[in-house]
Amino acid sequence: MFIIFAVMRHPERNYFDELKKLIVLRFRERQNDCSMDLSEWKGKEIELFQQDLQERVRGRISIRWFYDHLKSDREDRIPRIDILNLLCQYCGFESWNDFKESKKEEGLEEAQGPPSKAQVDAEVEKPMPEKRRWVLISGMMLISLLLGVVLITTLSNDGQQEYKMCFVDSDFGIPIADKNLEVKLLEKGYEGSAIKADTVGCLSLFMNSDSFQVVVRADYYITDTIQIARDQNEKREIKLKVDDYSMLIHQLSVTSTEDWERRRDQLDKMIHPDAEIFLVAEDNQGIEMFNKEEFIDRMTMPISTLNDLRILETIYSDEKIHKMRITQED
């Protein structure tokens, strides 16, 4: 005789399914052409959702986690409570419990879980043939064993850990805030979506990996690649070095002078003979390129046409600026 046991539906699965629907509606505020069926989301939509989650609630989920939980049709599990809280906050609720209470008020009920101990005891106490009693007890023991295996598997597959990072100036130890600081996860040589730091230069990542790399960029700081290891799970302070040359060029563009020859000498020492400087218009609506001489001329005219510069990117060669992207502040 063959007995087939179905995997039990998680008691709170109904709530999680409702949360997934709200996630779609929330994301459609940004990407209104995305599918209403979350399981149909693919690469670009998932990437934009990761970015939207980071911008709204300062949290991150990996692509693997998205496929394991939001695209999976397994009904015997739901994510960890910290991730559920994050997703509920994304949808406008304070927490997972707050979301469940709201749904209970609307009449949503929990899925039917395994019978309680009282129900089992009452059933066992009823007069029944010995064979039926044995089958019932054996079935309950097997169900408990299956649920234990499912729990262990879920915990092992959903081993995401929170990594907290704060970025400070290497010279003075002060937080790097209001510098457009962003972090990109480096996977297989490719950079992921930009993750913005908060107002005090800190952010959190949720990762499964034992170690990973991030690329860190901030205005007037040298771009750096940082290795993060699992044993560094406490809030980590990461120091960034000031990009002296880009900072100086910015300062020269916002200060007046009558000593034009000195300014030319300063720029000449900083810039590589084969340098290419790109002036990018707002929202990339136009671009203009200068060589070294042209750029210095534009920066040292009594009536300069290059004022209030913001340095977007600086690449060095032989310790001099070889390529630079700039824009002009309004």
Average pLDDT rounded to a whole number, residues 100-104:
90
Task: Examine residue 134 and state whether it is found in any structural domain, yes or no.
Answer: no
- Report the number of distinct structural domains present in the chain: 3
Higher pLDDT, 257 or 214: 214
pTM over 0.85: no
Residues 26 and 105 in one domain: yes
In the chain, what percentage of residues exceed pLDDT 90? 20
Task: Examine residue 255 and state whether it is found in any structural domain, yes or no.
Answer: yes
Residue 228: pLDDT band with limits 50, 70, 90: confident
97-105: Cβ within 8 A, 24+ apart: 99/15, 99/19, 100/12, 100/15, 103/15, 103/18
Residue 330: pLDDT band with limits 50, 70, 90: low
Whether 96 contacts 88, CB under 8 Å? yes
Residue 284: pLDDT band with limits 50, 70, 90: low
Helix (H, G, I), strand (E, B) or coil at 300: coil
Q: CA torsion angle for 32, 37, 39, 40 (degrees, to 10)?
A: -60
What pLDDT is stored for residue 231 in this prediction? Answer: 60
Task: Examine residue 216 and state whether it is found in any structural domain, yes or no.
Answer: yes
Q: What is the DSSP letter of 284?
A: G
3-state DSSP helix/strand/coil % of the chain, to nearest 5: 40, 25, 35
Q: What is the pLDDT of residues 75-86, one digit of tens each?
A: 888 888 888 988
Task: Examine residue 131 and state whether it is found in any structural domain, yes or no.
Answer: no
Distance of alpha carbon 295 from alpha carbon 159, whole angstroms: 52
What pLDDT is stored for residue 100 in this prediction? Answer: 92
Q: Which helix (H) or strand (E) holds 43?
A: helix 43-57
Task: Examine residue 221 and state whether it is found in any structural domain, yes or no.
Answer: yes
Residues 19 and 106 in one domain: yes
Distance of alpha carbon 298 from alpha carbon 318, whole angstroms: 24
Q: Which helix (H) or strand (E) holds 325?
A: strand 320-328
Residue 111 has pLDDT above 80, yes or no: no
Whether 88 contacts 20, CB under 8 Å? no
Task: Examine residue 166 and state whether it is found in any structural domain, yes or no.
Answer: yes
Higher pLDDT, 1 or 297: 297
Q: What is the pLDDT of residues 315-328, one digit of tens each?
A: 999 999 999 999 88
What pLDDT is stored for residue 137 in this prediction? Answer: 59
Distance of alpha carbon 106 from alpha carbon 311, whole angstroms: 53
Helix (H, G, I), strand (E, B) or coil at 112: coil
Task: Examine residue 281 and state whether it is found in any structural domain, yes or no.
Answer: yes
What pLDDT is stored for residue 315 in this prediction? Answer: 92
In the chain, what percentage of residues exceed pLDDT 70? 78
Residue 116 has pLDDT above 70, yes or no: no
Residue 126: pLDDT band with limits 50, 70, 90: very low
Residue 229 has pLDDT above 90, yes or no: no
Please list the residues that pair with 237 across neighbouring strands: 166
Residue 290 has pLDDT above 90, yes or no: yes
What pLDDT is stored for residue 199 in this prediction? Answer: 74
Whether 143 contacts 114, CB under 8 Å? yes
**What's the chain's average pLDDT?**
79
Higher pLDDT, 84 or 4: 84
What pLDDT is stored for residue 18 in this prediction? Answer: 92
Distance of alpha carbon 292 from alpha carbon 294, whole angstroms: 6
What pLDDT is stored for residue 156 in this prediction? Answer: 42
Residue 255 to residues 207, 208, 295, 296, 309: CA-CA distances in angstroms? Answer: 45, 48, 17, 15, 11
Domain region containing 230: 161-240
In the listed set 196, 213, 240, which residue is the last one of a domain according to the structure? 240
Q: What is the pLDDT of residues 47-60, one digit of tens each?
A: 888 888 888 887 87
Burial class, 51, CB count within 10 angstroms (exposed 0-12 / middle 13-18 / buried 19+): middle
Q: What is the DSSP letter of 69?
A: I
Neighbours of 271 (CB within 10 A): 22
Residue 38 to residues 19, 23, 26, 49, 326: CA-CA distances in angstroms? Answer: 11, 8, 12, 11, 40
Average pLDDT rounded to a whole number, residues 246-271:
87
Whether 193 contacts 184, CB under 8 Å? yes
Residues 272 and 308 in one domain: yes
Whether 259 contacts 308, CB under 8 Å? no
Residues 229 and 264 in one domain: no
Residue 158: pLDDT band with limits 50, 70, 90: low
Average pLDDT rounded to a whole number, residues 200-226:
84
Average pLDDT rounded to a whole number, residues 119-142:
51
Residues 67 and 85 in one domain: yes
